Chains A and B, each alone.
Chain A
Amino acid sequence: MRYDDITEAIGATPLVRIDPAVHGLANVDLYAKLELLNPFGSVKDRAAWHMAGPLLSGAAPGDTLVELSSGNTAKALALLAGMHGVPFKSVTNRMKVPEIKELLLLLGAEIDELPGQSECLDPTDTDDPLTRMHQRLAASGGGYLHTDQYFNERNVDAHAYGTGPEIVKDLDGRAPDYFVACVGTAGSSTGVARVLRQHHADVEVVGLVAAKGDFIPGIRTIDEVHEVGLFDPAVYDALETIDADDAIDGLLTLVRRCGILTGPTGGGAFQGAVRFLRTIDAGLTSRKTAVFIVCDRVESYLSYVRDRRPELFGRPPRRNSAGTLTGAELAAAPVLGVGDAQRWLTETNAVVVDLRSPYAFQALHIAGSINIVDEVFAELLPAGLPFSRRRPVLLVCPVGEKSARYSALLTRMGHPDARSLHGGIIAWRDAGAELVRD
């Protein structure tokens, strides 16, 4: 396929059948609409292009594209804006996925994080982020192109013209009996549902929302959906709740067993779909079809998964790491008090290694010492001793705790004279010993 422009590659995504051995449903064929195969990596490519296209083609010099988004919409808009030479600004309540934040910066986006709630209540401060953004846009006196994804009908249209008809076409002109979708801006679920019902009035549409207080990227919580202008409860035959655990369980099933590299949103959609369909599967008398949407890809959510399931990233303990020290080794760590250390340093010409952060080291340190921040030191040790055994070493940290651990570790690694400054550099300072700033 040959295109003149990457935006032509948006849409026409495959519909892939999920192996019944994976979902275990006897009477339902379950299909995944692989929106992750859009060129920018998510279902949001469609809405972003449909909303931003007209704005960008009419952009005046100096205009900035702006949207309240902390995820895939921002990513797609940043790329589209870049193609048109227009700056993009993402306003966000809180960026919760660090990889997306980094990626947006890489794409050249500007990110504004709105302030958190005040600790002492200001009852007059009742503006929601969107209203606050509208005020900022109005106060700036123009120059902003706002896609307004939570209220913009073109968000819904993108799916009513694209995603929905594609599903019907791939099912040989028939709408599925069940459609399960996560509710974010409500754009994809509303648009697809509209088309499916035109073909099959009885299609059952299940909206998935996150449990209150939980966080699944791209899904609103049961309360937050009511803040979305495009959200109309009448679209959904049922609203079901899923949580982050469901999303990760579904993600694992799809990536490990189906070859579908989904993020947590698609994982949640799969898990929610299977849970819902299981309740009706046994009572079905004829074969049914169900479709869910795989929204985006897993790579951006490694830290999201790691925070919630650290065991999935478990590795064997590394050689020469401080975590493998025994209580006896720690107790035997060679330490020196401030007075003894001062004498010892003049007698032995030992090297002083300061394990604190570089900024703190540069502000004040023991004269003649060298700075290897503890994280770097820990990285060096698995490869062996980073200094000669013939030169005594005095390790220094703030209170003498980390330095004692590393002196025990160096001793275990065969260093004959690695000592720790007892009480650390704070004890050194409190004893009135000399500290310098170079």
Chain B
Amino acid sequence: MLSLTPRIDTNLQSLLDDHEFLAELLDALGSPLNLVLPRQLAANVAAFRETYRRHRLGGRLYYAHKANRSGALLRELAAGDTGVDVASLGELQHALGAGFTPDRIVATGPKNREFLWLAARTGVTVSVDSADELAELAGIVAGHRLPRVPVSLRLAGFTSTGVRVLTRRSRFGTPAGRLPELLDVLEKHPDQLELTGVAYHLDTVGLPEKAVALEGCLAALDACRARGLRPRSLDIGGGFGVNYLADGAEWDRWTTELGQAVLGRRPRMTWDGHGYGLRAENGTLRGTLALYPAHRPVSGAAYLDRLLGTPAPELGRPLGELLLDHMYDLDIEPGRALLDQCGLVLARVLSADGDAVRLDLNARDVSLEEHGVLMDPVVIPRTGDRRAGPAAVHLFGNLCLEADLITRRTVFLPVLPRPGDLLAFVNTAGYFMDFSATTALRQPVARTVAVHRSGGRHRWCLDEQYWPVHPRQETR
């Protein structure tokens, strides 16, 4: 048994235990089905707020909307005090419609003129990637006689001294060394643009790189002040991570065994001997494991805490204290970390023949494999009968494609599934639920329902029907 048991909190577990409720939902709405748990968000927001409190820092938490399309999750957050990070015209419309006021929205990512116009018209903060984009925005504001737009400057390519800390190249942001060009544009358009701060987002789990970037942003903010501007915030983006697995020892064992399997020293444990990035060359293991570190004891708010406690590479003082010394707000854009334990994808088992389990969903409906996150699904038996286990199986999707495997890993389940059983892919709200779903082959895209518990039982509604207007007795 090489299990990778998912970490499941009590609320998610109580939903998984409600077999009848889940079976009814799937019968009514079809397989696959996405379930989101909007009321779970509060705990994750509170954890981040607690880290802010511990470091005495102020600032805004922007939910990275791209992690999930759900309206219920967005509206629930709109009811609280977080903001939202939108990365497309559609996301901006969605956020405005969910009740976010413009002061709680930041527009990031690639932007077309329509996106820029709606952002400027409504007065949301625009996180600008280049001098050209900044000039284009100023042109739109001037041309349409709009009020001044708050902007934040996304920077990249920070340099370190002494030890050179290398970072993967990013297609976003302006090289930090070219900040003066951005400031020139700002100075040219004082009636169109108002600087709120600077930002970075690095796609890495490495703290040293983020420390270099954060300190680089502090220097950039100082450069802004020296030019007479009044920035007040530093946006450090997201990438705080989630711990997906209940047991680190399982993860350690599985990854060790994978290396042995790739070297041919134990039987295969993946479809076709897939190595997830590892390969054998003359008996030596080469390549690198192209998987998300599914067991991450320091993730989410705890990772932020660790980052803020990291000494600045140049100045030596912990980054959190430097921010506080400078009186800057710390803005963050968590996506995945905010959605921890907030949803699951349900699918029906179509057949189970030997080690081949066919499911009525495909790899794009639950894009765990695409994102390199390995964790076992939970079997929800249709009837309460006892059955044989454990079982080593492969999970096949419903597309007529050789490559449509839900995972290329051999999955060890505690019991052998039967046709009609349900499989629940838990903790999939962040990026794995509807991120890549398509109607290819005219297979249906999953419906999404919002689930909560009240009056001692689970209740549900369609995602679009969910509004955070809860009668008082339901709020406890």
What is A's interface to B at a CB cutoff of 8 Å? 94-95, 101, 105, 110-131, 212-213, 222-223, 226-229, 231-232, 356-357, 359-361, 363-364, 375, 398-399, 401, 425-426, 429, 437
Contact call A119/B256, Cβ cutoff below 8 A: no
Q: A429 vs B248: C-alpha distance in the bound complex, in angstroms? A: 46
Q: For chain B, residues 263 to 290, give those with C-beta under 8 angstroms from any C-beta of chain A.
A: 263, 277-278, 282-288, 290
Contact yes or no, B56 A398, CB < 8 A: yes
Q: B385 an interface residue at 8 Å Cβ cutoff?
A: no
Contact status A111-B325, CB under 8 Å: no
- Please indicate the chain A residues that have their CB under 8 angstroms from the CB of B278 in the complex: 126
The answer to whether residues A123 and B277 also contact, given A115-B167, A398-B327 and a CB cut-off of 8 A, is yes
CA distance A123 to B207 in the complex (A): 21
Closest to A92 in B: B163
Query: Is the Cβ of B163 less than 8 Å from the Cβ of A357?
Result: no
CA distance A213 to B250 in the complex (A): 13
B55: min CB distance to chain A, Å: 10
Question: How far is A120 from B436 in the complex, measured between Cα atoms in Å?
Answer: 14
Nearest-CB residue, chain B, relative to A151:
B284
- Enumerate chain B residues within 8 angstroms of A94, measured Cβ to Cβ: 206, 208
Chain B residues with CB under 8 Å of A110's CB are: 164
> Which B208-255 residues have a C-beta within 8 angstroms of A?
208-209, 218, 222, 225, 238-239, 241, 248, 252, 255
CA distance A222 to B208 in the complex (A): 25
Pick from B164, B209, B284: contact of A226, CB under 8 Å: B284
Which chain B residue has the least Cβ–Cβ distance from A119? B239
* B401 close to chain A: CB less than 8 A: no
Residues of B within 8 A of A375 (CB): 317
CB of B326 within 8 Å of the partner chain = yes
Are A118 and B286 also in contact (CB < 8 A) when A363-B225, A398-B325 are? no
> Can you sample 18 A-B contacts with CB below 8 Å?
A94-B208, A101-B163, A105-B162, A120-B371, A120-B431, A121-B291, A121-B292, A131-B287, A226-B284, A356-B326, A357-B322, A359-B218, A359-B315, A359-B322, A361-B325, A398-B327, A399-B324, A437-B225
Q: Which residues of B contact A118 (CB under 8 A)?
A: 168, 203-205
A30 to chain B, nearest CB (A): 31
Check if A121 sits within 8 Å of B371, measured CB to CB: yes
Q: Report yes or no: B256 in contact with A117, Cβ–Cβ below 8 A.
A: no
**B225: which A residues are within 8 A, CB to CB?**
363-364, 437
Q: Is B259 an interface residue (CB 8 A)?
A: yes
Q: Kindly state whether residue B321 has any CB partner on chain A within 8 Å.
A: yes
Contact A113–B166 (Cβ < 8 Å): yes
Instruction: Name the residue of chain A whose CB is nearest to the CB of B335.
Output: A120
B173-222 interface with A by 8 A CB criterion = 203-209, 218, 222
Which residue of chain B has its CB nearest to the CB of A95? B163
Which of B248, B286, B371 has the most C-beta atoms of chain A within 10 angstroms of its own C-beta?
B286
B462 at interface (Cβ–Cβ under 8 A)? no
Known: A212-B256, A357-B325. A119 touches B315 (CB 8 A): no
In the assembled complex, which residues on chain A have CB atoms less than 8 Å from the CB atom of B315? 357, 359
* A116-B208, A119-B241 as given contacts; A227 in contact with B325, CB under 8 Å: no
CA A116 to CA B207, docked complex, whole Å: 8
How many residues of B are in contact with the other chain, CB < 8 A?
A: 55
Check if A128 sits within 8 Å of B286, measured CB to CB. yes
**Contact between B165 and A119, CB atoms less than 8 A apart:** no
Chain B contacts of A131 at CB under 8 A? 286-287
B204 close to A105 (CB less than 8 A): no
Residues in A with CB closer than 8 Å to B286 are 128, 130-131, 227
Are B325 and A115 touching (Cβ within 8 A)? no
**For chains A and B in complex, what number of residue pairs have CB atoms within 8 angstroms?**
137
Is B290's CB under 8 angstroms from A115's CB?
A: no
Within 8 Å of chain A (Cβ to Cβ): is B420? no
What B residues does A116 contact at CB under 8 A?
204-209
Chain B residue contacts of A359, Cβ below 8 A: 218, 222, 315, 322, 325-326
A361–B204 alpha-carbon span in the complex (Å): 32
Judged by a CB distance under 8 angstroms, whether B293 is at the interface is yes
Query: Shortest distance in angstroms between B15's beta carbon and chain A's nearest beta carbon?
Result: 27
Q: With a CB–CB cut-off of 8 A, which chain A residues contact B287?
A: 126-128, 131
CA distance A232 to B284 in the complex (A): 9
- Contact string against A for B residues 280-311, beta-carbon threshold 8 Å, 1 for contact and 0 otherwise: 00111111101111000000000000000000
Q: Which DSSP category, helix, strand, loop or mixed, fits chain A's interface?
A: loop
Q: Does B468 contact A (CB under 8 A)?
A: no
B30 within 8 Å of A (CB atoms): no
Give the docked Cα–Cα distance between A91 and B146 (Å): 51
Which chain A positions have C-beta within 8 A of B163? 95, 101, 105, 111, 113
Instruction: Quote the shortest CB–CB distance from B135 to chain A (angstroms).
Output: 28
Central interface residue in B209, B282, B372, by most chain A CB within 10 Å: B372
Judging by beta carbons under 8 Å apart, are A399 and B56 in contact? yes
Q: Which residues of A contact B259 (CB under 8 A)?
A: 223, 226
CB distance from A364 to the nearest CB of B (A): 7
Chain A residue with minimal CB distance to B281?
Answer: A229
Q: Are A117 and B218 in contact (CB under 8 A)?
A: no
How far is A112 from B159 in the complex, measured between Cα atoms in Å? 12
* The one of B241, B256, B263, B325 that contacts A222, using a Cβ cutoff of 8 Å: B256
Q: Which residues of B contact A229 (CB under 8 A)?
A: 282, 284
Against A, the Cβ 8 Å flags (1 = close, 0 = not) of B372-391 are: 11000000000000000000
Q: Hey, which chain A residues are within 8 Å of B222, CB to CB? A: 359, 363
Q: Given the complex, which residues of B lie within 8 Å of A111, measured CB to CB?
A: 162-164
CB-defined contacts of B218 to chain A, threshold 8 Å: 359
Q: Which residues of B contact A95 (CB under 8 A)?
A: 163
List 18 extra interface pairs beyond A116-B205, A119-B204, CB under 8 A.
A114-B166, A120-B239, A120-B431, A123-B290, A226-B285, A232-B283, A357-B317, A359-B222, A359-B315, A359-B325, A359-B326, A360-B327, A364-B326, A375-B317, A426-B58, A426-B324, A426-B327, A429-B327
Of all chain A residues, the one with the shortest Cβ separation from B56 is A399
From A105, A213, A399, contact of B248 by CB (8 A): A213
Q: Give Cα A214 to B433, complex, Å.
A: 34
Q: Which residues of B contact A232 (CB under 8 A)?
A: 283
**Min CB gap B200→A, angstroms:** 13
Give the chain B neighbours of A398 by CB distance below 8 A: 56, 321, 324-325, 327
| Nearest CB on A from B128, distance (A) | 22
CB distance from A354 to the nearest CB of B (A): 9
Query: Would you call A115 and B168 a contact (CB within 8 A)?
Result: yes
Nearest CB of chain B from residue A325's CB, rounded to whole Å: 18
Among A95, A121, A426, residue most surrounded by chain B Cβ atoms (within 10 Å) = A121
* Closest CB in chain A relative to B334 CB, distance in Å: 11
- B294 to A: closest C-beta gap in Å: 11
